[in-house]
């Protein structure tokens, strides 16, 4: 364990760290902060949950604090991130860690009105956190000038590229000074990220805290083979299992997320969808309803696979497998947090077999196979360690471990959740500002009561 006071941070920042309960630096923080305080460019390879936000936020705050306040429209530091949700989280962390400074923070994202952002920029912003599209729009109209940016941070660079922002990123970087300090963080390092890093970083320090072997020890992983027409019914059966406290369901497309959520609502399951076609207000409301328990199923595209930190997610369901096996690991990482156990189900069609093979190679684990007939779940092949070589080949299994019976008495539920399912609706279903009818609705839906609930409380852990 590395103490923060050994990293060269100012006393004011150390005091804030103690106040927010950050006792020791994570590996990404311990390796990055001294180099960043020395002014080095940095290439950081780290997944969500490693503390990378504080790894760059603390040096940015220390570097800017003694400087003259930013001029109108001219930020001193710029952080680019791929999604609106991630930018909000980064900005919140910067404000929390910078509580003892007089630095001004700004947020520029799409999906909300731009006039408040324009007014904020006109007053002067020291640290600007932005998504690429809205930032370019404001820059094109003269509302922001990036010529005074002394520190540039690209967070989740692989997702920026996956989501088609690489040209926008290059246009933004071209508007910043060559003398800037540049930081790039990415969970994976494909060729496209390496190329981008070589373009914007100058003799960078490389900090790699990515796991040499993917570890998902606390997450039980299961597969149900089902073709697309069958998947919705299988999903509803899984979600009605008694141990499902809160679940995230992943689809590959925005329209797929909305379609799945609407069908869940019609089946009496409290669900909502979150994806890029929704307004920022609708997305934030969906997330808040999910956190508050107004809905207990969130259907999402991969925008939610990284960056979002939602406590108490007991289950993740892959309605469709992602194209990249690394994305599977990020998806299922939404459960099993803070030392808790988690469950990940994947619904796999025949044309997804190669993706499943790639996932098993990456995780070095042959996933347990279950069947779903009506409302009956049964294990036909248990999980096992991946043997050396190609993981193809026949699965062997003998156990037929059926799930427990399913009643609907509501016994053992807390009154709030029990009443919600009996009534078949939740408050979040009463309105949606973009007309999407997938707003959450609870219902009994044949779901069985629970004899106990997981403890959702958690201590003050470090951010993503």
Query: What pLDDT score does 433 carry?
Result: 40
Give the pLDDT confidence of 410-458 residue by residue, as tens digits. 333 333 443 343 234 443 443 444 434 444 444 434 443 333 333 333 3
By C-alpha distance, which of 203, 451, 231, 184 is closest to 348? 231
390-411 exposure pattern, b = at least 16 Cβ within 10 A, e = fewer: ebeeeeeeeeeeebeebeeebe
By C-alpha distance, which of 345, 344, 356, 382 is closest to 216? 344
Percent of the chain with pLDDT over 90: 60
Query: What pLDDT score does 319 carry?
Result: 98
Query: What pLDDT score does 339 carry?
Result: 63
- Out of 43-57, 273-287, 374-388, the most confident range is 43-57
Residue 261 or residue 303, greater confidence: 261
pLDDT band at 327 (very low <50, low <70, confident <90, very high): confident
- pLDDT tops 80 at residue 397: no
- pLDDT tops 80 at residue 1: no
Give the pLDDT confidence of 192-207 residue by residue, as tens digits. 999 999 999 999 999 9
4-208: in CATH 2.60.40.1180: no
- Mean pLDDT (whole number) for 152-176: 94
By C-alpha distance, which of 296, 257, 263 is closest to 453? 296
Choice among 247-261, 279-293, 347-361, 393-407 with the minimum mean pLDDT = 393-407
- pLDDT tops 90 at residue 227: yes
pLDDT band at 399 (very low <50, low <70, confident <90, very high): very low
219-430: in CATH 3.40.50.10860: no
Percent of the chain with pLDDT over 70: 80
- pLDDT tops 90 at residue 120: yes
pTM for the structure as a whole: 0.64
- pLDDT tops 90 at residue 277: no
4-208 and 219-430 agree in CATH topology: yes
Answer left, alpha or beta for residue 211, where phi above 0 means left and psi between -120 and 50 means alpha. Answer: beta
For 319-448, list the strands marked E by DSSP.
342-348, 365-366, 368-373, 376-381, 384-385, 401-402
pLDDT band at 407 (very low <50, low <70, confident <90, very high): very low
Query: What pLDDT score does 22 carry?
Result: 93
Domain ranges, ordered by start, for the chain: 4-208, 219-430
Query: What pLDDT score does 138 carry?
Result: 98
* Coil vs helix vs strand at 409: coil
- Mean pLDDT (whole number) for 121-138: 97
Is there a contact between 276 and 256 (Cβ–Cβ < 8 Å)?
no
Give the pLDDT confidence of 43-95 residue by residue, as tens digits. 999 877 789 999 999 999 999 977 777 789 999 999 999 988 899 999 999 99
Query: What pLDDT score does 411 carry?
Result: 35
pLDDT band at 340 (very low <50, low <70, confident <90, very high): confident
- Mean pLDDT (whole number) for 246-270: 95
Rg (alpha carbons) of the chain, rounded to whole number: 23
- Mean pLDDT (whole number) for 18-24: 93
Integer Cα distance of 370 and 401 in angstroms? 9
């Amino acid at each position: 364990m590395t103490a923060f006071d050994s990293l060269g941070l100012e006393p004011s920042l150390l005091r804030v760290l103690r106040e927010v309960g950050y006792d020791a630096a994570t590996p990404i923080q311990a390796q990055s902060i001294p180099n960043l305080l020395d002014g080095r460019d940095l290439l950081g390879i780290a997944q969500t949950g490693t503390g990378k936000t504080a790894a760059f936020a603390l040096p940015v705050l220390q570097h800017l604090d003694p400087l003259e306040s930013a001029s109108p429209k001219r930020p001193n530091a710029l952080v680019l991130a791929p999604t609106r949700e991630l930018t909000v989280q980064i900005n919140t962390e910067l404000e929390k860690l910078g509580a003892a400074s007089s630095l001004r923070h700004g947020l520029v994202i799409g999906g909300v009105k731009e006039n408040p952002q324009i007014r904020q920029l006109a007053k002067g912003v020291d640290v600007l956190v932005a998504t690429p599209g809205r930032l370019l729009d404001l820059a094109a109209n003269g509302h922001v000038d990036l010529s005074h940016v002394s520190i540039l941070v690209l967070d989740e660079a692989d997702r920026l590229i996956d989501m088609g922002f690489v040209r926008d990123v290059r246009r933004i970087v071209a508007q910043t000074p060559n003398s800037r300090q540049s930081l790039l963080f990415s969970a994976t390092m494909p060729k496209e990220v390496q190329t981008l890093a070589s373009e914007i970083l100058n003799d960078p320090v490389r900090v790699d805290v990515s796991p040499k072997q993917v570890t998902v020890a606390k997450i039980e992983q299961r597969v149900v083979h089902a073709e697309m027409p069958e998947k919705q019914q299988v999903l509803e059966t899984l979600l009605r299992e008694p141990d499902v406290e809160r679940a995230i369901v992943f689809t590959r497309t925005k329209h797929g997320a909305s379609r799945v959520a609407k069908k869940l609502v019609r089946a009496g399951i409290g669900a909502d969808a979150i994806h890029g076609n929704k307004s920022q207000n609708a997305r934030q409301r969906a997330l808040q309803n999910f956190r508050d328990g107004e809905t207990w199923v969130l259907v999402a595209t991969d925008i939610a696979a990284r960056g979002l930190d939602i406590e108490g997610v007991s289950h993740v369901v892959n309605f469709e497998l992602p194209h990249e096996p690394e994305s599977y690991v990020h998806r299922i990482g939404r459960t099993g947090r803070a030392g808790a156990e988690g469950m990940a189900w994947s619904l796999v069609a025949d044309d997804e077999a190669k993706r499943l093979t790639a996932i098993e190679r990456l995780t070095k684990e042959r996933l347990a196979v279950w069947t779903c007939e009506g409302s009956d779940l049964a294990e036909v092949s248990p999980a096992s360690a991946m043997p050396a070589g190609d993981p193809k080949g026949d699965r062997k299994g003998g156990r037929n471990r059926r799930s427990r019976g399913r009643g609907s008495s509501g016994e053992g539920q807390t009154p709030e959740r029990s009443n919600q399912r009996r009534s078949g609706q939740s408050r979040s279903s009463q309105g949606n500002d973009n007309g999407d009818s997938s707003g959450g609705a609870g219902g009994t839906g044949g779901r069985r009561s629970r004899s106990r609930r997981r403890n959702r409380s958690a201590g003050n852990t470090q951010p993503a």
